[in-house]
Amino acid sequence: MSTRDATMMDDVAEILLDTETISSRVRQLGADIARDYAAKDVVLVSILKGALPFLADLMRAAPIPLALDFLEVSSYGTSTETSGVVRVLKDLANPIEGRHVLIVEDIIDTGLTLNYVIEHLRAQRPASIKLCALLDKPARRIVPLQIDYRGFEIPDKFVIGYGLDYAERYRNLPFIGVLRPEVYRR
């Protein structure tokens, strides 16, 4: 293990979900999505940047024709708390009117960001919008959301890894871990 890897591991208080647990659940979600969207014109809309590893594994686990598009939104900046103000940094590249949209998100916390994203997409008149989230943190929910495909419900802890970051670090960890509070209190 390199010094950098050791430092990243020193910042992890606990491993919440290991690599195999995540892989197994993503395969199951992919099979469910393939079954439900088998004869539909579906586009997976990923929320950048955190959902990218999840999206990559999920689309490989769903052996059906599908398209991809991306939205980049910001409501956190370098904080551990959402500001409540959502900004679209990168919008969809292609029209979604009349198509079945499946939003792929890494984590749902307060629901404020996803609520904004859903309304933003709904204005583009898709045939349907559903939501797939790897992680659901219901203890922090402010806005109720219907999660159609849920990977894991997690406790109210600040998590990193498998795409999730703190200040653009830790995304490359192959598991979901809890960040030591002293790291983000520095």
Q: How far apart are the first and last CA of the chain?
A: 25
The tens digit of pLDDT for each residue in 137-156 reads: 999 999 999 999 999 999 99
| Per annotation, catalytic residue among 11, 57, 106, 109 | 109
CA–CA dist 5, 61 (Å, integer): 29
CA–CA dist 77, 117 (Å, integer): 17
Other Cβ atoms within 10 Å of 64 Cβ, number = 15
Alpha carbon distances (Å) from 76 to 79, 132, 159: 5, 21, 14
Clarify whether 109 is annotated catalytic. Answer: yes
For residue 124, pLDDT over 90 is answered with: yes
- Indicate the domain borders of the chain: 20-155
Taking residues 109-117, what's their average pLDDT? Answer: 92
CATH number corresponding to 20-155? 3.40.50.2020
Taking residues 156-165, what's their average pLDDT? Answer: 96
Kindly state the greatest CA–CA separation across the chain.
Answer: 51
pLDDT band, residue 176 (cuts 50/70/90)? very high
Handedness of CA 20, 23, 29, 31 (dihedral sign): negative
Which pair of tokens denotes residue 10? 């020193």
